[in-house]
Chain A
Amino acid sequence: MATLNFPYKYGFHEKENYVFKSKRGLDEGVVKSISWHKQEPDWMLNFRLQALGLFRKKSLPVWGGDLTHIHFDDLYYYIKPTENKVSSWNDLPAEIKHTYDKIGIPEAEKKFLAGVSAQYESEVVYKSINQMLAKKGVIFLDMDSALRTYPDLVKQYFGTVVPSADNKFAALNSAVWSGGSFIYVPKGVRIELPLQAYFRINAASMGQFERTLIIADEGSYVHYVEGCTAPIYSTDSLHAAVVEIVVKKGARVRYTTIQNWSTNVYNLVTKRARAEEEAIMEWVDGNLGSKLTMKYPSVYLVGRKARGEVLSIAYAGPGQHQDAGGRILHVAPETSSRIISKSISRGGGRTSYRGLVQVHPGADHVKSKVVCDALLLDEASRSDTYPTMKIDQQGARVEHEATVSKIGDEQLFYLQSRGLTKSAAESMIVNGFIEPIVKELPLEYAVEMNRLIELQLEGSVG
């Protein structure tokens, strides 16, 4: 208990086995108490405190969505629902189990999962790791446990892909992070089944700041899938996650997210991967929920022949703004990339594609393609495209295509003339529009995605 130098100063009298909730707002005391509760090493506490300073110094981005309604002083930054992690489904508290039953974890587990890691509020409470993973030397833990069990490995990579100073929300996450996943895949190990985690915000005005770090060692392969849903709350919630991925020589990582936060959540996530020589990094990113999402999964192509892909789907209904896209930095020669973005706006919803393709000097023979298609379901909805290209090397082949279309009356008539209702016809057109990306999802997610689109459009037409 070397870090225990401020035991009861901040009013946290709960014993280890009790539910713990930090006070509203953020100061050094809150950061210290988080670190103390987790019994972290000094370097992590210092990392957090330094990040807190950066968070205070940095201003909100002036582009993207409206962030002025986030009241940082009203938020809770740490909540711990149960103390001990459980290793089997039956050990979970009934209420939590009920919540997960609705999302369908056990079914998903039976069919596809190698390991399940479900995040409830700030803490991972349920985890089962397939023996196969352990046998192959794969580490798949929640980040808190990883820090305790593999402190050196975590220290080596933590904050190296997304530094705390990157942006205000990365700094905030670095100061108060809790939970998230840690994955290490050893050299040459390929995990054929996707690894999954489910996330959930369950307390009003509670920020969720999970931190995920994936290291795919040389020649390895892993597909990580993250799905989020959240119930509706009356006060605004903040979700500011950081995901860092290191893809070493010849390795491949695919990271799939289906985000369906309730429409009062600010979803401000920094996701970045570093791809070394001949490595492949693929982001598949679906944003359906939240009030405002600002998320631009990035790939830094630092090794020769590395490849980066971002496949992005965004849906914005009434009151929603999805500001999503991707960033690819071609630092090394012969690197290639592709960004495909499909966005749907309905009922006054707003989608923005915001992307960057940058080719550094010396990165020759670079190929990049950006395709962004927007579908508007009505006159009240809006879609914007903000593509940026910075090319500092001659001979780079960079293509960009953008389309905006509306669901046509003739398409609706055609499907209705086959006996489909208007809303069934609309959801069929929308699902067809996103099909090129949905087919990249694991089957269950593809089914769920189609169902979510149907649910969104049901009753949307008069």
Chain B
Amino acid sequence: MLLTVSDLHVSVENKPILRGLSLRVKSGEVHAVMGPNGSGKSTLAYAFLGHPAYTSRGKIVLNNKDISHLSTEDRAKAGLFLALQSPIAIPGVTVTNLLRAALGDNKNPSHNPILARRFVGSLPVEEFMKAVKEYAKQLHIDESFLSRGIHDGFSGGEKKKIEMLQALVLKPKFAIFDEIDTGLDVDALRIVARGIGMLSQKGTGIIIITHYQRILKYLKPDVVHILVSGKIVKTGNAELAKKIEDNGYTQFSV
């Protein structure tokens, strides 16, 4: 399966941010998009999911289907997932409820409020809960976070882990992680990196958007792209990330 971005131009409030970006990610691959502040990294993340504040031109094709003009929810349904840099709190909405709503109920599409409690996706509720708790354990997330309002009063590290948890449960075709490594201590960084590794092993194509190569110490990318001023100026292997670590981005300035 393939996710391709061709000649993507994105502007915010008429200000051009991305100026002709192209990418090609295969299932199970790990790509890192690295760039300095203001290069358009977060814009790329939002543009993938069609955030209404971002005006896009160009093509995003997922598994031979052009999703460039789809709504956010339909892109998600097509198989895209975005882990946000600073996800917003939604009081009273637990991650468990969110995941249940996202997966729906394949057995009872009628939305009968009583029947709908029995299945999540095609899993009985009990098995779904077991799976969520197992992932939470692997990510060192205390179970109490599963029944609290999502990101409501969570620390930076907890937020990132909860985003990671959702990716693991939803098993998207392609997942974008925006600055997943910021605000994480070494232990949390290792845990999140392992989560991303698990996800890619299950076949999800991964795009890690990051300023630093910290996380790449724990997770070897297949492809590294350097994003400067809204364009990918260089693409290479994991060695490229090391060069950034040593010499910074100035060598790529346009």
Contact = CB atoms under 8 A, between A and B. Distances in A.
Contact of B102 (A408, A419, A431, A432): A419
Interface stretch (B89-97, B208-216, B238-246): B89-97
A414 B87 contact: yes
Interface in A378-428: 408-411, 413-422, 424, 428
A419 B82 CA distance: 11
Contacts of B99: 418
A434 B92 contact: yes
A431 B100 CA distance: 15
A93 interface: no
Interface in B73-95: 73, 75-77, 81-82, 84, 87-88, 90-93
Interface string B18-59: 000000000000000000000000000000010111000000
Contact of B166 (A418, A424, A448): A418
Contacts of A447: 113-114
B98 A428 contact: yes
A149 B87 CA distance: 62
Contacts of B81: 417-418
B113 A417 contact: no
A417 B72 contact: yes
A38 interface: no
Contacts of B101: 415, 418, 420, 424, 428
B170 interface: yes
Nearest to B98: A418
A432 B90 contact: yes
B77 A451 contact: no
A416 B90 contact: no
A415 B101 CA distance: 9
B90 A429 contact: yes
Given A413-B51, A417-B82, A429 B93 contact: yes
A361 interface: no
Given A417-B49, A418-B170, A450 B76 contact: no
A152 to B, nearest CB: 45
Contacts of A434: 92
Contacts of B49: 413, 417
A432 B91 contact: yes
Contact of A416 (B71, B84, B87, B113): B71
Interface in A47-84: none
A419 B92 contact: no
Contacts, number: 74
B88 A414 contact: yes
A413 B149 contact: no
A442 interface: no
Nearest to A413: B51
A433 B73 CA distance: 22
Counting chain A CB atoms within 10 Å of each CB, the highest count among B51, B52, B99, B101 belongs to B101
Contacts of A421: 73
Nearest to A419: B76
B52 A418 contact: no
Contacts of A188: none
A415 B114 contact: no
Contacts of A415: 90, 93, 98, 101
A451 to B, nearest CB: 5
Contacts of B113: 447-448, 450-451
B114 A432 contact: no
A435 B92 contact: yes
B72 A413 contact: yes
A417 B150 CA distance: 15
A436 interface: yes
Contacts of B72: 413, 416-417
A372 B76 CA distance: 35
30 contacts: A409-B53, A413-B49, A413-B72, A414-B87, A414-B88, A415-B93, A415-B98, A417-B72, A417-B75, A417-B82, A418-B76, A418-B98, A418-B101, A418-B166, A418-B170, A419-B77, A420-B73, A420-B102, A421-B73, A428-B90, A428-B101, A431-B92, A431-B93, A432-B93, A435-B91, A435-B92, A435-B93, A435-B149, A447-B113, A447-B114
